[in-house]
Amino acid sequence: MADKLTITAMHAALAAKQTSAQALLAAANARIEAKDGKLQAFLTLNPQAQAQAEAVDQAGDFSQPLAGVPVAVKDNIVTKGLTTTAASKILEHFEPIYDATVVEKLNAAGAVTVGKVNLDEFAMGSSTENSAFKVTKNAWDDSRVPGGSSGGSAAAVAAGEVPVALGTDTGGSIRQPAAFNGVIGIKPTYGRVSRWGVIAFASSLDQVGVLSRTVTDAALTLNVIAGHDDKDATTSPEPVPDFTAKIGKSIAGMKIALPAEYLGEGVDPQVAARIQAAADQFRALGATVETVSLPHTKYAVPAYYIIASSEASSNLQRFDGIRYGFRAQDVKNLTDVYVRSRSEGFGPEVKRRIMLGTFSLSAGFYDAYFKKAAQVRTLITRDFEKVFEDYDLIMGPTTPTVAFKIGDKVTDPLTMYMNDILTIPVNLAGLPAASIPAGFVSDMPVGLQLIGKPFEETTIFQAADAFEAANDYLAQLPGGAE
Amino acid sequence: MITKESVAHVAELSRLSFSDAELTQYTAQLGEILNMVEQLEEVDTTGVPATTQSIHLHNVMREDVPHNDTKVEDLFKNVPTAKGTLIQVPAIIDKEED
């Protein structure tokens, strides 16, 4: 049976006047009511959603694909008047006074924001267990993590609560949870999407993207949110294409690289086997797949944790208990306001990264840590550039294993960090990349990662769509055809 | 290897405070992380420039046009304590020195 929980299906029903934005919202709310008690994906439901849906129905214009479609937004993206916490106690009651540019664009396209979804505090983590508020479950197995940091986005989409959600990706935070939940996740090229109104983690790496149930839905949503923004000087002036332009086109002749390092040490052989099978499918579709080398891959994790933590330690200085956010009580003096508000407001992982970053930037250590990491980042970028001289796309697993059990890694930061080895290099180089479903290991979804040249998301969508069409993973999503 | 004293110093720079037990734990964890980071020493980076961003834009300029799209009362919505349009903070002089 066709999946009705897609943007495409909802748009068709709306355009044919078979349903309304209000009916779709009510159905989404009913699914959330039924499922979220267990899943725990949502932090806040939007009290303005009904009014938004009414306005869209009133206008009656369903020409745009997202008009009347219910969406969820990761809770580190600010929404005017709707509590935005970054899953941190320090922002527990924070009520933004403006919308992030991506939210403004969703609103203008007629999408209805159902609510805000859970994440690792300040997007720091790979399991959503670092949320100060709740532990989101994997949509396939509630004893397992949904991945992170966009764990709420991925679980909500996989469980069919909403057809699409926004996420953010600093080191894999869209792709890894997408892989763990068997959905599509795209992190666009750095600079493709505005970060205005995205609560900053690591500004040279953060990028907003989309989690959805189909490749086309991801492309349609990226069409809405992409583009230059005067409010974010790091957005690119590159023209924004129609991201669906190459969907449905043959991939015959496409040159795909498979890095040996992405199937090496630490990668579950069963996951590697799924990726080899995907490579065979691409070959059967007329593409060539050849083994290449990205020799600096193993240095990506250490370089990333220095760079991302350094940027985070600087970005998170703004949380001082003075102008907004949590302020500690019974303080002795001004320094005490800062220290106590931060110490009581931030969770352990956020503190760990602030500490690591502050250390890396401190006098006497800067050259050995931050500068060295920034130089290694150059070498990682050059590895990609070299491969892209001869290939259109790079493929590999999104994660070394399928979703792990809740509680398994949260007490061991280093093991948790190593989980990101296959997604981090992409952020360091600023490249676009997606994770798409590629089968199962032990009944849990495996993610296939497709990495493109800068600003060539359309090539990723083309290959992802061809792969999707050759498989039937969508039908297996929990709650798909109801 | 990072010492407990240097972790305490970094905590001070970070405006964070930790109990003694937490300091011990953070020292061990940061030690492990830095140990992993030391792999980077294997990489020859002689003459390699540092990358601090990937967008390749430099000095993005715009016209300095005044605009006023945020109301003062909105800016005060999330202020913990205020008097009129002033943000109220605890006494800056240490109470113990009163």
Alpha carbons A53 and A20: distance in angstroms, whole number: 8
Residue B93, classed as helix, strand or coil, is coil
Residue A104 scores a pLDDT above 90: yes
pLDDT of residue B47: 97
Chain B residue numbers touching A373 (CB-CB < 8 A): 37, 40
Instruction: Provide, as residue numbers in chain B, all residues whose Cβ is less than 8 Å from the Cβ of A99.
Output: none
A209 dihedral zone (left: phi>0; alpha: psi -120 to 50; beta): beta
Query: Residue B26 is part of a domain; what is its CATH number?
Result: 1.10.20
Q: Is the pLDDT of residue A387 over 50?
A: yes
| Side chain identity at residue A9, one-letter code | A
Q: Which of A89, A372, A384, A388 to mutate to test the interface with B (most CBs of B within 10 A)?
A: A372
> Are residues A379 and B45, on separate chains, in Cβ contact within 8 Å?
yes
What is the C-alpha separation between A67 and A206, in angstroms, rounded? 27
Q: Do A335 and B36 count as a contact with CB atoms less than 8 A apart? A: no
**Interstrand relation of A207-212 and A184-187 (parallel, antiparallel or unpaired):** antiparallel
Best of A361, A375, A384 to disrupt the B interface (most B CBs within 10 Å) is: A375
Distance from CA of A147 to the nearest CA of B (A): 21
Asked, for residue B28, whether it belongs to a domain, the answer is yes
| Domain coverage including residue A475 | 1-482
Per-residue pLDDT tens over the stretch B39-98: 999 999 999 999 999 888 888 888 899 988 888 899 999 999 999 889 998 877 765 554
Residue A154: which of A143, A168, A170, A134 has the closest Cα?
A168
Measured between beta carbons, the chain B residues lying within 8 angstroms of A314 are none
For the stretch A119-147, pLDDT in tens is 999 999 999 999 999 999 999 999 999 99
Res. A421: pLDDT tops 50: yes
Helix A215-225 and helix A7-15, axial crossing angle in degrees, nearest 10: 80
Select from B37, B79, B8 the least CA-distant residue to A376.
B37
pLDDT value of residue A196 = 98
- pLDDT-based confidence at A481, cuts 50/70/90? very low
Inter-chain touch A381–B51, beta carbons under 8 Å: yes
Q: What's the confidence (pLDDT) of residue B96?
A: 58
Token pair recorded at residue A467: 């792969």
Instruction: State the smallest CA–CA distance between residue A6 and chain B in angstroms.
Output: 33
| Structural domain contains residue B22 | yes
User: For A91, which residue in chain B has the nearest alpha carbon?
Assistant: B78
User: Tokens standing for A284?
Assistant: 């059967």
B36–A372 C-beta distance less than 8 A: no
pLDDT at A480 over 60: no
Find tokens 């068709």 and name the residue: A12
Which of A187-196, A214-223, A414-423, A472-481 is predicted least confidently? Answer: A472-481
Per cent of chain A over pLDDT 90 is 93
Contacts of A298 in chain B (CB under 8 A): 39
Given this model, what pLDDT does residue B98 score?
46
Q: Which amino acid is at B55?
A: I
Q: How far is B21 from chain A (nearest CA, A)?
A: 13
- CB pairs below 8 Å between A and B: how many? 168
Cβ within 8 Å, pair B33-A376: no
Asked if A414 lies within 8 A of B32 by C-beta distance, the reply is yes
Out of A338-342, B16-20, B92-96, pick the least confident: B92-96
Which residues of A are annotated as catalytic?
74, 149, 173
pLDDT of residue A2: 58
Across A323-432, the runs of DSSP E, i.e. the strands, are 393-397
- Tell me the average pLDDT across B17-30: 96
A236, B57: Cβ pair inside 8 Å?
Answer: yes
Residue B73 in any domain: the answer is no
**In Å, how far is B59's CA from the nearest CA of chain A?**
9
The ipTM, to two decimals, is: 0.93
Please, what is the angle between helix A457-469 and helix A269-284, to 10°?
90
A417 falls in which pLDDT band (50, 70, 90)?
Answer: confident
Nearby residues of A167 by Cβ (< 8 Å), 6 or more positions away: A74, A150, A153, A154, A173, A174, A177, A185, A208, A209, A210, A211
Average pLDDT of the residues of chain A = 96
A482 pLDDT tier (thresholds 50, 70, 90): very low
Total number of domains constituting chain B = 1
pLDDT at A1 over 70: no
pLDDT score for A479: 62
Number of domains in chain A: 1
pLDDT at residue A393 is higher than 80: yes
CA A419: distance to chain centroid?
15
Tokens of A139: 């949509």
Domain ranges, residue B19: 1-41
Which amino acid is located at A67 in the chain?
A
What single letter denotes the amino acid at residue A283?
Answer: R
- Evaluate whether A109 touches A62 at the Cβ level (below 8 Å): no
Q: How far is CA A96 from the centre of its chain?
A: 21
Tell me the shortest Cα–Cα distance from B16 to chain A, in angstroms.
Answer: 5
Identify the three-state secondary structure at position B39: helix
Are the CB atoms for A169 and A388 separated by under 8 Å? no
Cα nearest neighbour of A334 on chain B? B92
The DSSP output letter for A68 is: T
Q: Which two tokens stand for residue A249?
A: 């086109």
The tokens 């602030």 sit on which residue? A354
pLDDT in tens, A351-383: 999 999 999 999 889 999 999 999 999 999 999
- CB spacing of B29 vs A346 below 8 angstroms: no
Q: How far apart are CA A433 and CA A423, in angstroms?
A: 9
Is residue B15, in this structure, part of any structural domain at all? yes
- Whether the per-residue pLDDT at A276 is higher than 90: the answer is yes
Contact across the interface for B13 and A302, Cβ inside 8 Å: no
Most B-contacting residue of A193, A317, A355, A412 (CB-CB within 10 A), to test interface: A355
Nearest CA in chain B to A349: B26
A337 contact residues in B (CB cutoff 8 A) = 89-90
Which is higher by pLDDT, A175 or A477? A175
Residues in chain B, overall count: 98
Q: What local confidence, expressed as pLDDT, does residue B92 receive? A: 73
Phi, psi for A15 (deg, rounded to 5):
-65, -30
Residue matched to tokens 């065979």: A280
Q: Which helix (H) or strand (E) holds B7?
A: helix B4-13
Closest residue in B to A341 (Cα) is B16
Within a domain: B61: no
Find the mean pLDDT for residues A269-288: 98
